[in-house]
Amino acid sequence: MASEQTSSPTAVTLWLDPVCPFTWNTARWLQAAAEAGGAAIDWRLLNLAVLNEGRELPAAQQARMGDSRRIGRLMTAIRRDLGVDALVTAYFTFGEAYFDQSAPVDRELADKVMAAVGASQITPAVLDDDTLDGVVAQSHQAAQDAYGATGGSPLLTINGHTFFGPVFTELPALESVATDFAALVTLTAMPQFTQIERPRVH
């Protein structure tokens, strides 16, 4: 049975906003599951700025929504022009700078991301190109439609069902990623399953 699962990776759609710190943990965990042969990931974008339009938010969250809007445009342009593989490279390049090095969302960071994928036809001006907002909104709506409700980042589609999460407060140990991911797949295969949650410890 284990060898069959290894030879037939589980199809997963990961809907993400690049600026979400919890999604950064989920994405790295899922990437490790893919490298272990358990998952085949389709990477797609949703947008927290669109999700939170019109809401009163604390200043720090408002600032992150500004990052979400600008990086959403950049990632949308990369996926549109260069495809999903480039999006994955761009996302991990961005995440390492934004989360691990606390880099601000500016033209220098955009240049770094674009250089990683060879996006010579895209310029840093894309961060402020509101003509892309319609495409960003369409991708976000596709995520909401898959979920069947209003949901943030990350959303995960497995076995035809879309869930919010998994939410990790930090990157889990990866030694058991194959069995941990298999457990998630088993749980999501239950049509009656909708949610599991516990308080965050930090």
Which has more pLDDT, 139 or 120? 139
**pTM for this predicted structure:** 0.92
Q: Which domains does the chain have, with CATH numbers?
A: 2-188 (3.40.30.10)
User: Tens digit of pLDDT for each residue in 90-132?
Assistant: 999 999 999 999 999 999 999 999 999 999 899 999 999 999 9
The pLDDT, as a whole number, for residue 75 is 98
The pLDDT, as a whole number, for residue 8 is 84
User: Tens digit of pLDDT for each residue in 147-180?
Assistant: 999 999 999 999 889 999 999 999 999 999 999 9
DSSP the chain: -HHHHHHSPEEEEEEE-TT-HHHHHHHHHHHHHHHTTSEEEEEEE--HHHHTTT----HHHHHHHHHHHHHHHHHHHHHHHH-HHHHHHHHHHHHIIIIIS---SSHHHHHHHHHHHT-TT--GGGGG-GGGHHHHHHHHHHHHHHHTS---S-EEEETTEEEE----SSPPPSTTHHHHHHHHHHHHT-TT----------
| Per-residue pLDDT band at 7 (split at 50, 70, 90) | low
What is the largest distance, in Å, between two alpha-carbon atoms of the chain?
Answer: 51
Query: Other C-beta atoms within 10 Å of 26: how many?
Result: 21
Which has more pLDDT, 43 or 192? 43
- Is pLDDT of 191 > 90? no
